[in-house]
Structure 1
Amino acid sequence: MLTIGQLAAYAGVTVRAVRHYHQIGLFPEPERDASGYRTYGAPAVVSLIKIRTLADAGVPLTQIARMLEADEATLAATVEQIDARLRAEIERLEASRRQVRRLAAGDSLVLPPEIVAYLDRLREIGASERMLAGERDGWILVSARWPDKVLEWIPAKLAQLEDPRLVRLYQVLSQLLETEGIDDRLANEAADIMADLADQAEAAGELDYGAEGRDEMSIALLDDLADAADKRAERLRELMRERGWDGWTRMQRVAKPPG
C-alpha cells in the first residue's frame, strides 16, 4: 500500500495533482486506515496512470471521467472530437508562430508588402528610422480605415518621391527629429518646402481629398498621431500657419497671422 507521495511518484504526477483530482471528483479518495492515513492500492495506481496519460494527451479533465467509463464506440467518438479540437488548436498555434516569426521582419508584421516597399524607398532616400516609425504608424491607421483603398494610393505616393523637394523634406524632417530642441533653420526649411508643395497642389486642383478627406475622425486621428510624435510638431504648425497653411493629413488654407 502506498502513501500519496509514493503513489504520485509511481504514476509520474505531483502530489498537488493527485489532490486536485480528488477535489474535482476525478480520482476518488480512499478511506483512512486504522492509523488515520489514506493509502492507495494497485487499482488506484492503474487509475491514476490512465488519468495522467489522457491529461498528457490534451484531454480536458472534465472529459476524462466519462472516457474512462465509456464503451468502445463512445470512446472512439470522443477521441475523434478531441482530435479535431487538437488539430484546430495546432492550426491556431501554427498561425501564431508564423505571425511571431514575422516580428523579425518589422514593418511587414501589420502592413502589406506594397506599403513595406514604400517605407523601404523612404529609407533609401534618407529618411531616419525615427521618421520611418512615424510613417509606419500612420500607414497602420490608414490601412485599418481604408483597407480596400490603401494599395491604390501607393503608386502615386512612390511617384511623388521623384520630386526632389519631397525627398529633401524627408531628409530635413529626419535631421530635425535627431536634433536637441528646435533647430529653426531646419524647421523653417521644412515649412518652406511644405508650403511650396501645398501651393503647387492647390494650383493644380489636387487638394480635393474626396470622401476620405471628409472622414473627420480619421483625419483627426492621423493629425493627432503626427502631433504626438514629437513636441516640435506644434512649432512646425506655427511656421506653416505663417505661410497660410494648416493641417498634416488634409492641408487647408488659413489666414496668415497679422504682421
Structure 2
Amino acid sequence: MRRAGLVVAEGLAAMCGAAAVGVTTGELDAVGREVLARNGAISSFLNYGEDWGNGFPGVACISVNEELVHGVPGERVLRDGDVVSIDFGAIVEGWHGDAARTIIVGTPDEADLALIDATRDAMWAGALAMRPEGRVGDVSRAIEEHVKSLPRRYGTLKEYTGHGIGSEMHMEPDVPNWHRRRPTPRLTVGMALAIEPMLTRGLHQTLELDDGWTVISRDGSRGAHWENTVAITERGLWVLTEPDGGEASLGDRFDPLAD
C-alpha cells in the first residue's frame, strides 16, 4: 500500500503542478494517466462503477468550484481563481492508495484559501485521532470539532464519507466527517483508513449532475476536499500517501514500518 500511496502522491503533485489557466480538466487527467503508466500502476477510479452501467471515465476526479467531488474530467477550461479538487487512486500489486488535494489556479481568494486550510487541517485532526482500540467515531468527532472551532462557518458534506481501504478502494468501515451518537467500529493495528473531509463555504446540501457522477453544492458555494490514506502501526501512524509518511504533520505520532 505504501508503494501505491507514493504513486498517488506523485500523481497528485504532477496534476496540481500542471493546473493552470487555460488547461482543461481532461489534460490534467492525462497527466495522471502518464504517472500511472510510468510506475506500472493501475487506476483505482477508471471504469469504477461499470458493474451498474456507468463506469467512471477518468483516472482522477477533478472538481472545480461548486463541483465538490467526483467531477468528470473533460473539456472544462480552468480559469483564474478557480478552486480545483483532485482525487486520485492507484493500485500496485492489488493494493490501493487514495488521496485528494485542493488548489487554486492563478489568483487566490482569501476566503478560498481559508476553506482549503480548514479542510486540510480537519483531515489531520481526524488522522491524529486514530489509535489502536479507539473507535471510528473518535475520528469523526475530531474532524467535526475542528471545523466547529474555526472562526468561519463551513458546510460539511454528509452523504459522502471516508472509508476503509486496502485490497479494495472502498472497504468497511465508513468514516463520516461528523460525529454520530451511536457505537462505531474499533480501530486496530494494521487498519488503514482514507480520511477525507469535504467542506463548502456555504451549506452542506448537494445535487448530482446528469452525468451520474459530479456532485455540486445545492447553493452554488465553492468546496474543498483533502484526503490521505492513513495506517495504524503498533506505535503510531503512517500516512501512506504523503512522501514523508506524514512526519511533518504527525510529530511524535509518526511511526513508519519501513523507509
TM-score greater than 0.5 by the shorter chain: no
Greater strand proportion: 2
Question: Shorter chain as normaliser: what TM range?
Answer: under 0.3
**Which is higher, the Rg of structure 1 or of structure 2?**
1
Greater helix proportion: 1
